[in-house]
Amino acid sequence: MIGIRIVWVLLHHLLAQLRRRPETAQSAKGSVVIAWSGMRGIVTLAAAMALPGDFPHRDFIELTAFVVVLGTLVIQGMTLRPLLVLLRLPKDSVIESELHVARKAALQAALTAIDGDESPAAERLRVEYSEALSQARQGHNPRDRRENVLRQRAIAAGRTAINELRSSDAIGDDAYRRMEEELDWLELSSRPARPDV
């Protein structure tokens, strides 16, 4: 079972290379990892157990499915990490580069949408989006700005203030919850970028 999967994936890799189809072509190391990651699981067992009771050789099929699942999970599962360490795969940066393109497009569209509006609110947005676009063009996440650190500090102070108002019964539960929701939305928009993105 393991051998069949390895041959199948590596054959697919070879055909993709021959056809020069970059969208389906993996690196050779990536194809080896994909080939080795073919562990079978509960679906294999479920398919075997779903056979009718009078199906010919049902017990043998169930035993075979169990051995395949156990074998692939133990053999491939226990050796996958050492294989990854041995191959030293490069960091996958596809999502990061796509985010870079998407951020620039979204920020440029936002600036275009408010173009021509001379109101003070539009001017503030124009400054904010222009700075964010500048950061995006340099390959940085626009949320990693000093303003967001200050916003986080201001939001924390706001939470302390409404907690004190609630504790002193100056505001009720409904007003407290609505104010908490408003602060939550502000906090979500000012969070720094996740380290893995």
91 pLDDT exceeds 80?
Answer: no
Alpha-carbon torsion (142, 143, 146, 151), positive or negative: positive
Percentage of residues in the chain with pLDDT exceeding 90? 27
Average pLDDT value for residue range 159-186? 93
The candidate with the shortest Cα–Cα distance to 177, out of 165, 168, 191, 188, is 165
3-state secondary structure 75-99: HHHHHHHHHHHHHCCCCCCHHHHHH
Quick check: pTM over 0.95?
no
pLDDT surpasses 70 at 34? yes
Which amino acid, one-letter code, is at 101? V
CA distance 49 to 45: 6
Separation between Cα atoms, residue 57 and residue 40, nearest integer Å: 21
Task: Check whether 197 has a pLDDT greater than 50.
Answer: no
Largest CA distance in the chain: 80
Single out the residue of 190, 90, 89, 187 nearest to residue 147, CA to CA: 190
pLDDT band at 26 (very low <50, low <70, confident <90, very high): low
Residue 118: partners with Cβ closer than 8 Å, 6 or more residues away: none
The answer, yes or no, to whether residue 190 has pLDDT greater than 50, is: yes
Give residue for tokens 């360490």. 85
In the chain, what are the domain boundaries?
Answer: 2-90, 95-190
Q: Quick one: tokens of 88? A: 């030293």
pLDDT winner (highest mean) among 38-47, 48-57, 69-78, 139-148 = 48-57
pLDDT band, very low/low/confident/very high, at 22 (cuts 50, 70, 90): low
